[in-house]
């Protein structure tokens, strides 16, 4: 004799089998907690930068500094062989130290390979200006024949020739000198009002064309050590 099986009984049977299978599996195999995922290893760049930052903060070797000095990271440049050059600007009591830049060379394993600072002496400058920024700008303007604009001015510590630094107003002038374009940085002592240093971002130079020989003459603009 045939018996009819309703959909409700089929559903109940399926549910019972599912629960039974789950019970058997749980009994046969003890539950094991999934291992916590291990943290991802730091990237080569992060390892190098971290090592360089620690060296700068500690004042390692050439980065020796006083208690009021800090190094602030500015840029990171990849080199060959997994090396990274990390550039820093120096500050003294919050003031930029012009001439106190530093570079740390670190590798992808987080090891410092070398360091170099433009200024070895500790900074010991005053931080209160006696000369106003306006007066310093007026003095700075005398160093450029034609001044088109004043791009910026700021209070800095100027370090040069191994000294401990002098508080100065750095004024950046845009214009021309002797018919040539100029972007002149002028440093006026913030205590005495005298010009203690200056340099121009624009420099003239000559070069020979690779293909046309020495005859052609072109105007050039200096950018760092190249044109």
pLDDT (tens, 9 = 90+) of the chain, 227 residues, equals 333 333 333 333 333 323 323 432 333 344 445 555 544 456 999 999 999 999 999 999 999 999 999 999 999 999 988 999 999 999 999 999 999 999 999 999 999 999 999 988 889 888 999 999 999 999 999 999 999 999 999 999 999 887 889 999 999 999 999 889 999 999 999 999 999 999 999 987 666 656 555 555 555 555 554 55
The dotted CATH code for 124-227 is 3.10.450.40
The reply to whether domains 44-117 and 124-227 share a CATH topology is yes
Domain 44-117 bears CATH identifier 3.10.450.490: yes
Domain boundaries, the chain: 44-117, 124-227
Q: What is the 3-state secondary structure (H, E, C) of the chain?
A: CCCCCCHHHHHHHHHHHHHHHHHHHHHHCCCCCCCCCCCCCCCHHHHHHHHHHHHHHHCCHHHCCCCCEEEEEEEEEECHHHEEEEEEEEEECCEEEECCCEEEEEECCCCEEEEEECCCCCCCCCCCCCCCHHHHHHHHHCCCCEEEEEEEEEEEEECCCCCCCEEEEEEEEEEEECCEEEEEEEEEECCCCCEEEEEECCCCCCCCECCCECCCCCCCCCECCEC
pLDDT at 1: 39
Ramachandran class of 160: left when φ > 0, alpha when ψ lies in -120 to 50, beta otherwise:
beta
pLDDT at 9: 33
pTM of the model: 0.69
């Amino acid at each position: 004799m045939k018996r009819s099986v309703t959909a409700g009984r089929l559903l109940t049977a399926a549910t019972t089998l599912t629960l039974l299978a789950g019970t058997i599996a749980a009994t046969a195999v003890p539950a094991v907690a999934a291992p916590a995922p291990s943290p991802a290893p730091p990237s080569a760049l992060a390892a190098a930068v971290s090592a360089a930052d620690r060296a700068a903060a500690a004042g390692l070797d050439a980065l020796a500094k006083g208690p009021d000095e800090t190094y602030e990271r500015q840029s990171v440049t990849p080199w060959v062989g997994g090396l990274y050059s990390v550039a820093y600007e120096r500050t003294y009591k919050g003031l930029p130290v012009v001439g106190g830049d530093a570079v740390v060379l670190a590798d992808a394993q987080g090891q410092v390979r070398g360091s170099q600072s433009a200024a070895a002496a500790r900074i010991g400058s005053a931080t209160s200006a006696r000369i106003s920024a306006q007066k310093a700008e007026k003095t700075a303007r005398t160093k450029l024949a034609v001044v088109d604009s004043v791009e910026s001015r700021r209070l800095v510590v100027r370090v040069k020739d191994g000294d401990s630094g002098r508080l100065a107003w750095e004024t950046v002038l845009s214009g021309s000198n002797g018919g040539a374009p100029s972007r002149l940085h002028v440093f006026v002592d913030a205590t005495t009002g005298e010009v203690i240093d200056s340099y121009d971002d624009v420099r003239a130079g000559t070069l020979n064309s690779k293909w046309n020989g020495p005859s052609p003459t072109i105007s050039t603009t200096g950018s760092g050590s190249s044109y």
